Amino acid sequence: MKIEQIYTGCLAQGAYYISSEGEAAIIDPLRETAPYIATAAKENVKIKYVFETHFHADFVSGHVDLANKTGATIVFGPHAETTYQSHVAKDGEEFKVGKLTIKVLHTPGHTLESSTFLLKDENGKDYCIFTGDTLFIGDVGRPDLAIKSNLTQEDLAAMLYDSLHNKIKPLADDVIVYPAHGAGSACGKNMSKETFDSLGNQKKTNYAFQAASKEAFIKELTTGILPPPQYFPKNAMLNKTGYDSFDDVLQRGTIALEPEAFEAIANEHYALILDVRKQGEFVVKHIPNAIFIGIDGQFAPWVGALITDLKQPILLVAPEGREEETVLRLSRVGYDNCLGYLKGGIDAWEKAGKETESILSIPAQQFVDTYEKETINVLDVRKPGEYEAQNLEKAESKPLDYINEWTNYLDKDQKYFIHCAGGYRSVIAASILKARGFTNLVDVAGGFSAIEKTGVKTTAFVCPTKK
């Protein structure tokens, strides 16, 4: 028996490879199928099943491509409906992988079709559960992502309580919990950085098993949920209905374009120029109207949160040798319409006589000197929880996640100083505002962590008392 967790930090996502006696199963695979196929070939095993715990919202799964390439059967839990061929299992149905048995436990709540897969070892003993987004380490899945459901999040939270207490809690304490996500995912509120644990420990430490009543659990789960990123329902629908072959997406997106061709395609297709270099490189020099989202940050989730159209034509400015990686990571969240990249990068653009622009980025101390002497506009683009924990008194909370909602409330004639926690998100925000016609922007290098070190007075957000 072999069980391998394949964890992808950018998405905080865990896929699983299971093999026994010449057969294999993949659970919740990522978009790129080559690694799974290569592992199976190396071990001389056949991929028999692709199990999906639910219709994922935060990434596009590789189930359709994997099934097409290997002949594997795609398995969902009860109530799943797909436009491609799949097997919709019954609650309690069992599947054989070599000498192993995988049993379907229908655990609705995160979504209606959500299911947990219980793996029994060669001796028939319950060994581990693949819980998807039903149970995380230290948390559970959010109850507001069901596709086209008439149920409220309270209804789904009640279902999740029943699933946890009736299907999962009765299992033995030594059963290993393998979830679909860890810390950093937007599919829950407060996940642990650990990526697996014993069920016994989760029974003792996870609030989901400690709630005094179903009502208390529902209140806890539904309080403080931030709106899901805009791409979540779009990715869930792709997982339900299918998508373009990843091989075609990769071939199309990795076309090397000379500056003239790059510019022509940008104009002809109204393509978004996405610059994924380091933030320090972008502020010094970039193509006019380019948007920065650095490949070395939480790239895919920020693309999904900020680029509203999955079909948006995209052209890349990427570090040399990382063009294919960028196309791959775009495809993981459903952005399949990349039309190529700038051959030779920004240096080739300049050598061709093309215009470049920059963003003013200043050290934290210089910013604080201005902040303490003048009345200035400061935009704090961190998440609400970060702002509430500690902030500059005169800074406005303008989370990057919702920039498409608050941009129109700013005045293009005003000057804005922008900071985040470390400098990555502020450059993203500045690039978007600049592309939308804001010309007087100042990035604070190093973000709030650098600002704090200057000794400037900060405060915590206090919610006004309701009268």
What distance in Å separates the CA atoms of residue 421 and residue 382, rounded to the nearest whole number?
A: 6
Question: Token pair for residue 234?
Answer: 């779009």
Axis crossing angle, helix 63-70 with helix 34-43, rounded to the nearest 10: 40
Strand-strand pairing, 291-292 and 360-362:
unpaired
Strand-strand pairing, 197-198 and 176-179:
antiparallel
* Predicted local distance difference test score (pLDDT) of residue 465: 42
Domain ranges of the chain: 2-235, 245-279+286-351, 360-452
pLDDT digits (tens, 9 = 90+) for 341-383: 999 999 999 999 999 999 999 999 999 999 999 999 999 999 9
* Predicted local distance difference test score (pLDDT) of residue 466: 37
Tell me the mean pLDDT in the region 54-67: 96
* Predicted local distance difference test score (pLDDT) of residue 423: 96
What distance in Å separates the CA atoms of residue 55 and residue 147, rounded to the nearest whole number?
A: 9
The stretches of 164-213 forming alpha helices (DSSP H) are 199-205, 207-210
What distance in Å separates the CA atoms of residue 205 and residue 214, rounded to the nearest whole number?
A: 17
Tell me the mean pLDDT in the region 293-316: 95
Tell me the mean pLDDT in the region 73-91: 97
Q: How confident is the model at residue 185 (pLDDT cuts 50, 70, 90)?
A: confident
- Give the CATH number of domain 245-279+286-351; options: 3.40.50.2300, 3.40.1010.10, 3.40.190.10, 3.40.250.10: 3.40.250.10
Within this chain, domains 245-279+286-351 and 360-452 share the same CATH topology: yes
pLDDT digits (tens, 9 = 90+) for 139-155: 999 998 877 678 899 99
Question: Token pair for residue 136?
Answer: 């995380």
Tell me the mean pLDDT in the region 315-330: 97
pLDDT digits (tens, 9 = 90+) for 385-412: 899 999 999 999 999 999 999 999 999 9
Q: How confident is the model at residue 462 (pLDDT cuts 50, 70, 90)?
A: low
Dihedral over alpha carbons 227, 300, 295, 257 (to 10 degrees): -130
> Any idea which residue has 């998807």 for tokens?
132
* Predicted local distance difference test score (pLDDT) of residue 243: 96
Indicate yes or no: pTM above 0.85.
yes
Mean pLDDT of the chain: 94
* Predicted local distance difference test score (pLDDT) of residue 187: 80
pLDDT digits (tens, 9 = 90+) for 408-424: 999 999 999 999 999 99
Q: How far is CA 262 from CA 11, 306, 345, in A?
A: 30, 23, 11
Give the residue from 262, 282, 277 showing the smallest Cα distance to 341. 262
* Level-2 CATH architecture, domain 360-452: 3-Layer(aba) Sandwich (3.40)
Q: Which fold has domain 2-235?
A: Metallo-beta-lactamase; Chain A (3.60.15)
DSSP 466: P
Long-range Cβ contact pairs of 458-463 (< 8 A, separation 24 or more): 458/390, 458/391, 458/392, 458/393, 459/390, 459/391, 459/392, 459/393, 460/388, 460/389, 460/390, 460/391, 461/387, 461/388, 461/389, 461/391, 461/397
Tell me the mean pLDDT in the region 45-56: 97
> Any idea which residue has 């309690």 for tokens?
92
Give the residue from 36, 132, 35 showing the smallest Cα distance to 76. 132
What distance in Å separates the CA atoms of residue 189 and residue 104, rounded to the nearest whole number?
A: 26
Axis crossing angle, helix 323-331 with helix 246-253, rounded to the nearest 10: 140
